[in-house]
Amino acid sequence: MSTTLFSAAFGVGTQNRQGAWLEVFYAQPLINPSAELIAAVAPILGYTGGNQAITFSTAQAAQMAEAVKPVDAAQAALLTRLAESHKPLVATLLAEDATLTTTPEAYLKLHLLSHRLVKPHGLNLAGVFPLLPNVAWTSQGAIDLSELAERQLEARLRGELLEVFSVDKFPKMTDYVVPAGVRIADAARIRLGAYVGEGTTVMHEGFVNFNAGTEGPGMIEGRVSAGVFVGKGSDLGGGCSTMGTLSGGGNIVIKVGEGCLIGANAGIGIPLGDRNTVESGLYLTAGTKVALLDENNQLVKVLKARDLAGQPDLLFRRNSQTGAVECKTHKSAIELNEALHAHN
């Protein structure tokens, strides 16, 4: 058996009364774990290769802690703590970055993103939605929806309030990991699986979906939709939106370059190059007709916004008299136009 794996983690989670996984917490997920670590735990777990999620007992956790002490002190310390658990334990071992098959695998990949071990679009997340059960996220943790009413009654009979914070497939990122060097005004608006780069501030109305995020530093007061990655030094103004692949963006990967500004209540459906500005209130879809202007504000050509995708140093604005969407550049628009069509 090959002991070279793509990822591995030891976790503690929640199951429903039928033993199905609702969620898993991995304190120290690993990318490319050492062959020595895997060789030490494989016999105890009965791992023989491939992508597997293997439940293990507290006694096995203690065994593995002793076995890995010589090769990985941090994982040994974690396993020692897991040996004290009153909740179910699982080891998730991924030989390759393949299509997901279990809920613990799905949670591991979401952890890899939020721990900044992999950037958005760096993982195969095919099959993720059916493997994330829709659960009630409560003051007593994750609860199966079919069991919620009974649990609420049980809490009331004990004189307690079971508070339901949300009903969703994705939990809050900060219940699993708080990345270093970030400010998050409302933790409920960052889903597990978000990549929040160091130096990022997410204000109260900001939102970051899974498999999306920011390189950092940056200011997020708008919506970073699934699949969107925001470059260094960019600012998303209040109420602005980025079109993700889950909300009509098709197969176009929407990203925001470095040093960009998307104004308040604006939006983009195209990738932005570095140092782009989108005027407040302007929603720029791929098919939006854009008048390309030269340095004298003379029309060069009318084209679709997708033809300007990824180009640097652009200002997108709406003419307040005609309503036309216009684009100006720090460069000559003629030069830009020639560059756009050089390979046609």
pLDDT digits (tens, 9 = 90+) for 107-122: 999 999 999 999 999 9
Number of domains in the chain: 3
Q: What is the mean pLDDT of residues 143-169?
A: 97
Is the model's pLDDT at 207 over the cut of 70?
yes
Does 2 reside within a domain? Answer: no
Same domain, 143 and 203: no
Q: Which domain holds residue 143?
A: 136-168
Same domain, 191 and 214: yes
Q: Is the pTM of this model over 0.85?
A: yes
Is the model's pLDDT at 88 over the cut of 80?
yes
Same domain, 242 and 332: yes
Same domain, 47 and 179: no
* DSSP string of 211-241, one letter each residue: TEEE-SSEEE-SEE-TT-EE-TTEEE-TT-E
Q: Output the pLDDT for position 129.
A: 95
Same domain, 281 and 308: yes
Same domain, 181 and 305: yes
19 is in an annotated binding site: no
The residue count of the chain comes to: 344
Q: Output the pLDDT for position 343.
A: 39
Comparing CA positions, the residue from 244, 216, 240 lying closest to residue 228 is: 244
318 is in an annotated binding site: yes
**Structure-model confidence comparison of residues 243 and 31, the more confident one:** 31
* DSSP string of 149-208, one letter each residue: HHHHHHHHHTT----EEEEESS-BGGGT---TT-EES-GGGBBTTEEE-TTEEE-TT-EE
On average, the pLDDT of the chain sits at: 93
Q: Output the pLDDT for position 341.
A: 47
Q: Output the pLDDT for position 337.
A: 54
Does 97 reside within a domain? Answer: yes
Question: pLDDT tens digits for 245-269?
Answer: 654 445 678 999 999 999 999 999 9
Catalytic center residues: 221
Same domain, 309 and 164: no
Question: pLDDT tens digits for 225-240?
Answer: 999 999 999 999 999 9
205 is in an annotated binding site: yes
Instruction: Provide, rounded to the nearest whole percent, the portion of the chain with pLDDT above 70.
Output: 93
Is the model's pLDDT at 295 over the cut of 90?
no
